[in-house]
Each structure stands twice: as structure tokens, then as C-alpha cells.
Amino acid sequence: MPIKISKHIQTKAPSLFPDADQASVYTAQQIAELIHQKQREGNQVTLGLATGNTPKKVYQELIRLHKNEGLSFQNVITFNLDEYYPIGPDNDQSYTYFMRHNLFDHIDIQQENIYIPQTNSTPQEVAKYCQAYEDKIAEYGGLDLQLLGIGRNGHIGFNEPGSSFASTTRLVNLHPLTREDAIAQFGTIDKVPHQAISIGIHTIMQAKRILLLALGERKSEIMNKALSGEISVDIPASILQTMSQVEYILDQEAAVLIQEEDRV
């Protein structure tokens, strides 16, 4: 049963950009400004990070800002949204590998400040591991900023359709569409894991600021539903409509179906 909440309680108009490059640079700037602000205050900053195609250019821009403009990550703690289960951290399809390759190996973040769900726990131990991941986020005072992509089925993290809005970090079963979209990464469908560890929707909603980035025409249909459709566990991202700390950042292609009234 969809939860009925009147639409657009909190949704701000999405930030629209002519192309993926400009949307990604803007996103990276938001992250960099927060890091600078926390540095000025003498504080650490806790970032929730995503993997996949969407954030790649954001990470490229953060690397550029580090290399050319002196952006330091010494005060940054990161928690990744999710990881396939099971998968070894050295497997080049793992998100641990992805993060090293696309960001961490190129910046000055302290290794002990990087948290990515590790999926070497046995099925018996995994719930305890997930609770410890939650506890660690809480120990740092929660996430200051969460960067999100969106799946074509509306998932955020690997919170697939049907996930409870009250969910926290746990072992999840991957949706057929999510597994299909991962074929490009794994080669064939039989190599794509059936499960993952994902932080929950509740965990995401607790973040002080949330940036949801959607790029390309293949995200246009789901962005229209997530932004303007009914709030329902069938479209996990739809719950973000109720939250004032969310900013949607879209390139023109992802925004083609966004209705005029949602643009202003």
C-alpha cells in the first residue's frame, strides 16, 4: 500500500544543468564548499558516497580540485552507501576497488577515515556487522552530506522497491533490473551477485544534506516519478519529496520529462 502524503511537501525545484559535466562540477563544488567550511570551523566532515556511473565526474572534479586548487581531504570521513555481497575488496568489480580507483587513491584522505561495507561476514554475522556500520556513522554524529544516484527502479543505495522507509543498514536482495544494469560491470548476468549490503532509507534520511544526482535520458522516466509521483515504497526515492534538505541535480536529458511546475 503506498503511503499517502500530499505531494511536494518539501521538494525544492531541481537544479538543472545543460549537460552532465556542468551538473557534476556543480555537485563537486557543493561538496568542496562543505569541506572548506568545516575546515574553517576546525571540524571533521562526514560524507556519504555513492558508486556507479553517475558520480564518476564528480569524483574527477574533486580530484582536480585537490591537485590544482589545494582542496584537502584530511578532515573528511567517508561512508559508502553499499557493496555487493559477497565480494572481495580486491575484486575489480567491488565498490571498494571502484572508490580507490575513482577517488581515494588520488586524494589525501586518511585511510582510516574510509568506511565501505565489507562483505566478508558470514550470513550469521552480517546483521551484527550492519549494526556496527550504523553505529559507526552515529559515532561521527551522522552524515553531513549524502551523495546519491538513482536506480532506474527508483532505488537509492541498494534500497530496492518495497524497502521500508524505516530501514537501516542490512543485507538486501538485488532487484532484477539492478542486476541487469550491473551486467556491463560483471560481464554476464550469472556473475552479478544477488545480494548486497546497503545503508537504509532511514539512514539516508538522517543526513543533514542530500544531493541526488541524475544524469542522462535513461534516468528521465524515474526522475519524473520520483519527483512528481506518489510517495510509495514502490519508488524508494519518492520519500525524498518530504525532506527539505534534499537537492535534486539533473542534466537536461534526465530532466526532459520533469513537468514545468516542478521546474520553478
Q: Which residues bind ligand F6R (CB under 6 A)?
A: 50-54, 81-82, 149-151, 155-158
Is residue 155 part of the annotated active site? The answer reads yes
Q: In terms of CB distance, is 63 or 213 closer to ligand F6R?
A: 213
Out of 61, 83, 144, 160, which one is annotated catalytic?
160
Q: Tell me how far, at minimum, the Cβ of 20 lies from ligand F6R, in Å.
A: 11
- CA pair distance 90, 41, nearest whole angstrom: 36
**Given the C-alpha cell 580486491, which residue does it identify?**
90
Q: Tell me how far, at minimum, the Cβ of 50 lies from ligand F6R, in Å.
A: 4
Out of 75, 80, 113, 153, which one is annotated catalytic?
153
Is residue 101 part of the annotated active site? The answer reads no
User: Which residue type occupies 135?
Assistant: D
Q: 195-206 burial, b if ≥16 CB within 10 A, otherwise e? A: bbbbbbbbbbbb
Q: In terms of CB distance, is 66 or 219 closer to ligand F6R?
A: 219
Q: In terms of CB distance, is 157 or 200 closer to ligand F6R?
A: 157
Is residue 21 part of the annotated active site? The answer reads no
Is residue 82 part of the annotated active site? The answer reads yes
Q: Tell me how far, at minimum, the Cβ of 69 lies from ligand F6R, in Å.
A: 26
User: Which residue type occupies 118?
Assistant: Q
State which residue has the least CB distance to ligand F6R: 149
Out of 75, 80, 82, 181, which one is annotated catalytic?
82
Out of 75, 83, 155, 159, which one is annotated catalytic?
155
Q: 78-114 burial, b if ≥16 CB within 10 A, otherwise e? A: bbbbbbbbbbeeeeebbbbbbbbebbbebbebeeebb
Q: Tell me how far, at minimum, the Cβ of 26 lies from ligand F6R, in Å.
A: 17
Q: In terms of CB distance, is 51 or 96 closer to ligand F6R?
A: 51
Cell of 174: 538485488
Q: In terms of CB distance, is 52 or 161 closer to ligand F6R?
A: 52
Q: Which residues are marked as active site? A: 82, 153, 155, 160
